[in-house]
Structure formats: structure tokens, C-alpha cells
Amino acid sequence: MAEQKSFKELLAHIVEYGKNEQMEELADVFENIMEMLKMNHPEMYDKYYKQVEEIMGSDHLTEEEAKHYVMNLTHKDGTKGEYFTMERVEDLMRRNPELAKYDKNDVYYVINMLHSDFYKPKWDVDTYVMFTAMWMDDPDGCADKAKRHAMIFHP
């Protein structure tokens, strides 16, 4: 009886020798596995999803990274952490098309960073939304601008 190949060996064989249809079928298998994990073990799903993002080298902050950087922001008044919660950012993105086109975690970091660095008592939420959209929409900026900024200025 032939020895059963490991899962890793099977994947390596499909990646190296497989046809496009087989790669699509493999993607479907992984999607089904991940959906079952998401329903039955959300914490495990989050762990593996983050690993896949890291392997892909995402241009955007993960939620964990964004929250880490935001929680360590020091405001002009000496307080630390978020001013805009993730839920608030999601609501602002739903109501503002100029923000909706960006990655949620990047927006969360940027709006909090701008509030921390440039706070003025007379500025309302709409001002921070406008500045965030302008910062994100920088024509000579790069796709990973928020991630780079966070890593450089708020390690």
C-alpha cells in the first residue's frame, strides 16, 4: 500500500503541476474550510486569515495592527488611544463615499492619528473626515501609505 501524501505535499504538487481549473478548485476548498472555521471557530479563522494576509504582504494595516498603533497614540492633552472607535469609523465610512473607497483599518488609523496630531477644539467630525480623505487621496502617495506611516512614526 502506498504511503499517503501529506496535505503540504498535495498542495505543492497542485501548485507546481496543476492546471488553472485545479487551482480554482483548490481555492474553493480553502474558501469552504475558512467559512466553516469562521462559523464554528471565529478566533481560529481570524488567526489564519491574518497569516494569509501576512503571506500576501498586504498594503493595508490589519485590524490588530491598526488598533495597536492607535492605542499608542499620545494626544496633545496627554491622553492616549483612540478617539474614533472602529464602530464609529465604519459608520463614517458608510455615510461618506470619500472614505468608503479606502481600507477600514487604514481609515481607523489615519483619522485617529490626524485627531491626535492636529486636534483643534473648533474642528468637528466632518473636518476630520475631510482631512482623512485628503490624506488618503494623496496623488503621489503609495498604496501602503497608512501602514508605512504607522510603522515609521508610531512604532
Q: Comparing 15 with 38, which gets the higher pLDDT?
A: 38
Distance (Å, whole) CA 22 – CA 36: 21
Please tell me the predicted confidence (pLDDT) of residue 45.
Answer: 86
Burial letters 5-44, b for 16+ CB under 10 A, else e = eeeeeeeeeeeeeeeeeeeeeeeeeeeeeeeebeeeeeee
Q: What does the block give as the cell for 7?
A: 496535505
Bridge partners of residue 80, in order along the sequence: 74
Please tell me the predicted confidence (pLDDT) of residue 70.
Answer: 97
What is the per-residue pLDDT across 31-68, written as a single tens digit (0 to 9) for each? Answer: 899 899 999 998 998 888 877 767 766 789 999 999 99
Distance (Å, whole) CA 109 – CA 123: 18
Kindly list the domain boundaries of the chain, sorted by start residue.
7-56, 63-153
What is the per-residue pLDDT across 81-109, written as a single tens digit (0 to 9) for each? Answer: 999 999 999 999 999 999 999 999 999 99
